[in-house]
Amino acid sequence: MIDQLRTVPGLEIEEIPPSLMADISDTETPQGILAVLEKKTLSLPQTPSFLIIADQIRDPGNMGTLLRTAEAAAADGVLLCPGTVDAFSPKVIRAGMGAHFHLPILAVDWGEIKTIANNMPLYLADSGGGKSLWEADMRRACALLIGGEAFGASPQGEEIATDKITIPMPGRAESLNAAIAAGILIAEVLRQRSISKKD
């Protein structure tokens, strides 16, 4: 594989000792290959139909899983609110499993979020109340706001939400992991829209 990469124009390859690889890698057992890439921010479509807003999600694994799920569902983009983990940190990139190459991911302030999600229903995932996700109409353009693991959504997120939705939990758990909750809500958006297309 390395020999094939050597033939790519403009690609520089340097071999380094294993001790140096261990020093510069952030994993205990590095794979033996590191890449330095130019960071490119993908643009949102002019009129998005499905956005995910990550509000104070701080766990890199949860963020990576959220990005991977959003990409799998063909979401138009993920907006990162202030106080959210860096979506381009190594752990998030690993957990994202390639989502960063295809999904617009933008760190924005609350003013920008209001502009981008203008006239779009904004559903706040809430474990303590709100209508059931099965009762929310997510067939039209909408945004899902997923709050952080420890404290949920920020006051700003609560303020701009147009509706609160909840995942029915007949068991004894008080809440779900942020990434799991997001996955369930995203799947419901896809389910409703697939039924709508058939009709």
- pLDDT level of residue 1 (50, 70, 90 thresholds): low
- pLDDT level of residue 130 (50, 70, 90 thresholds): confident
| pLDDT (mean) for 173-194 | 93
Cα–Cα dist 188/14, whole Å: 47
Q: What is the pTM of this model?
A: 0.87
CB 52 within 8 A of CB 70: yes
**Model pLDDT for residues 10-25, shown as the tens digit of each residue:** 888 888 888 888 888 8
**Model pLDDT for residues 87-107, shown as the tens digit of each residue:** 999 899 999 999 999 999 999
Cα–Cα dist 76/43, whole Å: 9
Residue 30: pLDDT over 80 = no
Summary mean pLDDT of the chain: 91
Give Cα 195 to chain centroid, integer Å: 24
Cα–Cα dist 47/144, whole Å: 16
Which domains does the chain carry?
50-198 (3.40.1280.10)
Cα–Cα dist 84/182, whole Å: 15
pLDDT of residue 41: 84
Between 46-50, 124-128, 144-148, the lowest mean confidence (pLDDT) is in 124-128
